[in-house]
Amino acid sequence: MKDKVCVITGSTSGIGRGIADHFARLGARVVVHGRNVERGEAAVKAIKGAGGEAFFVAADLKDEASCRALITKTIERYGQIDVLVNNAADTTRGTIESTKMDLFDALIAQNLRAPFILMQEAVIHMKPRRSGSIVNIGSVNAYIGEPKLCAYSVSKGGLMTLTKNTSSLLNQYRIRVNQINVGWTETEGEHKVKTEGEGLGPEWLEEAVKTRPFGRLLLPHDIAYAAAYFASDESECVTGSIMDLEQYPVGAPPNW
Task: Give me the phi and psi of 138, to 5 degrees please.
Answer: -100, -150
Q: Which residue from 173, 164, 189 is spatially nearest to 241, judged by alpha carbons?
A: 164
Rounded Cα gap, residues 35 and 182, in angstroms: 23
Residue 173 appears among annotated catalytic residues: no
Rounded Cα gap, residues 55 and 41, in angstroms: 8
Rounded Cα gap, residues 8 and 245, in angstroms: 19
The Cβ of residue 128 has, within 10 Å, a number of other Cβ atoms equal to: 9
Catalytic residue among 78, 143, 152, 173: 152
Rounded Cα gap, residues 81 and 6, in angstroms: 6
Q: Which residues are catalytically annotated?
A: 152
